[in-house]
Amino acid sequence: MTLEKLKTKIKQLTDTGQIDVVGFSDASPFNDYAWQQSKRRAPHLSLWEATSIIIAGIYIGGLKLPVWDNLWYGRTSRLYLSGYFLDVVEPMQPIAALLRDAGYQALVCDGSSQESSILPLKLAAVRSGIGWQGKHSLLISKKFGTFLALGGILTNAEFNFSHTEEPNRCRECNQCQQACPVGALQKPYVLNMKKCMSYRMQIDKMPDRVKAVMQNRVADCEICQDACPWNAKHIKRPLQTPLTKSFQNDIGTWESFFHLPALINLTEEEYIKQLGHLNTDIPYTLFHRNVTLAFENAKKQER
């Protein structure tokens, strides 16, 4: 099988699955990667013979609960609800199997830990032509906005790359920076992780400045994404993808689950049973702390 035919088969495989966009790029080092000590900066550190990167994205723009505007319901994020919080992994396996069957190596990016994460997926997606990096530091696609969960594969299959990188279309817009209530985007294109609300909701220490603005959020924050003009159409009318349609059937169940008066009594066993499949890597103790704070915020709102 020629590499062009293999590339076509990969695209056909994604068309029949859950993946909404796929891109190909070379596997040269990411010299502009912020963490120069990480093996992510150089794909050959994970797969010595790597010549190509395959990046796939799954649209998660339709994963929103209407009751999020009600403070008595715990708010998360589209990424949280998608089950791809730590990278798209399982949907990449058929592509990896196809490559291996054709005699090539294939290593799937699995961000379940810092040690196992092998690619800067956002930068690889930019290199493949899927989108550009916005001032909120997230990938932006003309078609999908910021609402793509990403997965990647390193391979020694030497694909041809005919794409061009998308130009940066943020221009003078700084709505994401202005919207961030904790000042995590003071420098455009750079996220100050230590200030970010999403990050703070996943670690032990919760600063008062985050408590003051978290409202009903119990896990993750999308304030900068909600402010991004490239997401406006998705917020108003999400694309009807297989994942969107499947999620819409479960909206009622999700809303009942995240009702704070019930959620605050969730046990650790129930947490694992009900939310373990989302692979968020957020321990019960921190999730329960966030729920308790959100519950208190809802009570204050009624006074």
Give me the mean pLDDT over the 147-172 stretch.
92
CB atoms within 10 A of CB 197: 23
CA torsion 112-280-154-106 (nearest 10°) is: 80
Q: Give the position of tokens 């010299």.
A: 31
Q: Give the position of tokens 């715990």.
A: 74
Give me the mean pLDDT over the 92-112 stretch.
92
Cβ–Cβ < 8 Å for 177, 135: yes
Give the three-state DSSP class for 10: helix
Give the separation between CA 82 and CA 210, rounded to whole angstroms: 24
Question: In one letter, which amino acid is 13?
Answer: L
| Whether the predicted pLDDT of 6 surpasses 70 | yes
Residue 39: per-residue pLDDT = 85
Give me the mean pLDDT over the 190-216 stretch.
95
Residue 116: per-residue pLDDT = 60
* Sequence ranges of the domains in the chain: 3-155
Residue 32: per-residue pLDDT = 81
Rg (CA), the chain: 20
Give the three-state DSSP class for 96: helix
Give the separation between CA 119 and CA 126, rounded to whole angstroms: 13
Give the separation between CA 54 and CA 124, rounded to whole angstroms: 8
Give the three-state DSSP class for 234: helix
Residue 33: per-residue pLDDT = 81
Residue 290: per-residue pLDDT = 98
DSSP H or E stretch at residue 132: strand 132-133
Residue 167: per-residue pLDDT = 93
CA 49-97-46 angle, to 5 degrees, is 30
Residues in the chain: 303
Give the separation between CA 73 and CA 98, rounded to whole angstroms: 43
| Whether the predicted pLDDT of 179 surpasses 60 | yes
| Residues of the chain above pLDDT 70, percent | 97
Q: Compute the half-sphere exposure of residue 94: CA atoms within 13 Å on the CB side of its CA.
A: 13
Q: Give the position of tokens 């493949």.
A: 128
Structure tokens at 222: 């999308």
Structure tokens at 5: 């035919």
Give the three-state DSSP class for 137: coil
Which residue from 237, 260, 42 is spatially nearest to 147, judged by alpha carbons? 237
103-142 burial: b if 16+ Cβ within 10 Å, else e: ebbbbbbbbeeeeebbbbbbbbbbbbbbbbbbbbbbbbbe
* Model confidence pLDDT, tens digit, residues 116-133: 678 999 999 999 999 999
Structure tokens at 115: 């040690």
Residue 302: per-residue pLDDT = 73
Sheet of strand 106-108, all strands in order from the earlier edge strand to the far edge: 21-26, 52-59, 148-155, 106-108
CA 275-71-83 angle, to 5 degrees, is 25
| Whether the predicted pLDDT of 163 surpasses 90 | no
Cβ–Cβ < 8 Å for 139, 128: no
